[in-house]
Structure 1
Amino acid sequence: MPRARLSARTRTLAVAVVAASLGATVYGVGVAGAHDSVPRSDKQIPNLTDVVSEIKAYYGDTVDASGEHFASPSSNYAKQVAGIEAKAKQYLAHEVGHGGRGGHAAKPAIVLDVDDTSLNTYNYELEVGFAYTPASNSAYIANKNMDAVFGMEKLTNWAADQGITVFWVTGRPEAQRADTVRNLAAVGYKPAADAAHLYLKNAASPPSYLPCGSTCTTIEYKSGTRKHIESLGYNIVGNFGDQYSDLTGGYADKSFKLPNPMYFLP
């Protein structure tokens, strides 16, 4: 999901790696993300160079001949994601078999964030030195495909085969719709990421179902969109995101937090 403010993202890079190390896989009410406390000493602040090195080690940094960085399928990151996916698949299979929470007749659905939930931004982050800007991000997305987050395309395709409708709700701007659709298809996501199933932020013409309009916070935008999806007759049995703000606000039976030590979004 796009970063709203570079300064906030930069401040929380080091804290995010600490939060990710907690290893939470299933998000629950009251789980905290990065904090805003002011350090009393430099000894309380992780060294940024060391943090970047730890991030690269966690992802199993691999560099190809052209200088592109990739996460390794044998990395601890890949192993952690696989564990989360296994639990999610077991849960979804049970929910589909029992008609969802409470056995109601609503159509089962899952909601996925895009960046670092469906698509891995690791190479982009290394390319820009974790210094996100809208311009560099748009240029990257227009010219390169991000890899699928390990195993997420398989889990998503499996869910669709079970009759679960797949929705994507991303903080990417509406202008990146075509590039997002192209990338998802290119790395193996089979469910249609069409206008009815892919929601992007539209600051110029926000949908009427979001009372906050163009001023929505991430939580308001994401939860409001999930509420809208459920108003269409779906029951969101699973919500997947790499940020706690992807998962807060209700309108999902259960949420799954994917690891992301690279940045934190309130």
Structure 2
Amino acid sequence: MSDGRFRRKPPRLAPLAALAALALPAVSLGGAGTAQAAGLPGYGTWQADVQQAVAPVIPWLRDHAATSGSSGSSGKGKPAIVLDIDNTALETYYHEGRANKPVLDVARWAHAHHIAVLFVTARTSSSSARQQLRDAGYPVDALCTREHGEDKGDGKARCREDLTEDGYRITANIGNRSTDFEGGFYEKGFKLPDYGGRLS
């Protein structure tokens, strides 16, 4: 029975999940979110495209690593592959520092079959790059970096020429930008997607 006084209803409590969400800091979406913002495909699509791009590499190496070279190669020397680092050997855009698994699989196969694994990069520091590659599980037989002020394409061509003069025969050259393939000194190039230059 009412005594004529208004009774204030107890305040409704917010659901625990909502309270927890308010207490937590914002979480970055990582590669997927930033990829969409940049007009790039999601990680799964990129990985499928990378796998398709590198699928012919091992068959090519089986057929050509032990034969004489052509197309800018001297035809002599220890067979080798050259890998670009960022968004080729490493998932720099999607997961910084993590190995790009389809490319890592090629590198490990090459290493197991006595084919040198070389890296040519537009980076200008070799020590940090070498450590990052090793931490990601790559065998590293040699690494060449761009010199300060050097154009990316020119620097990478110089590196491949230097490696050739050091006694390597670059059977396969793997990268994701056009600058990875300028200037020769390799037998065959395998280009990973860069989606119209949006993935550097």
Question: If the length of structure 2 is used for normalisation, what is the TM-score?
Answer: 0.72
Correspondence 1:263 to 2:194 = no
Correspondence 1:246 to 2:180 = yes
CA distance in 1, matches of 2:64, 2:154: 27
Q: Aligned pair in 2 of structure 1 residues 121, 104: CA closer, same or farther (>3 Å)?
A: closer
CA distance in 2, matches of 1:246, 1:161: 25
Correspondence 1:151 to 2:86 = no
CA distance in 1, matches of 2:146, 2:182: 17
Shift in Å, 1:82: 1.0
Contact 1:118/1:153, CA 8 A, preserved across alignment = yes
Partner of 1:80: 49
Q: Deviations over 1:155-185 (max 9, x none)?
A: 10111111111111111122xx333222212
Correspondence 1:99 to 2:67 = yes
- Map 1:4-15 to 2 at 5 A: none
Higher relative contact order (CA 8 A, sep 6+): 1
Instruction: Kindly provide the amino acid, as one letter, of the partner of residue 67 in structure 2.
Output: G
Correspondence 1:108 to 2:89 = no
Higher-Rg member (1/2):
2
Question: If the length of structure 1 is used for normalisation, what is the TM-score?
Answer: 0.55
Q: In structure 2, list runs of 5 or more residues that go unmatched.
A: 1-33
Contact 2:85/2:121, CA 8 A, preserved across alignment = yes
Q: In structure 1, list runs of 5 or more residues that go unmatched.
A: 1-48, 60-70, 125-144, 204-214
Contact 2:146/2:152, CA 8 A, preserved across alignment = no
SS at match of 1:101: coil
Instruction: Kindly provide the amino acid, as one letter, of the partner of residue 37 in structure 2.
Output: V
Identity %: 27
More helix by share: 1
2:114 to 147, 163, 185: 163
RMSD: 2.5
Shift in Å, 1:116: 0.6
Instruction: Kindly provide the amino acid, as one letter, of the partner of residue 258 in structure 1.
Output: L
SS at match of 1:173: coil
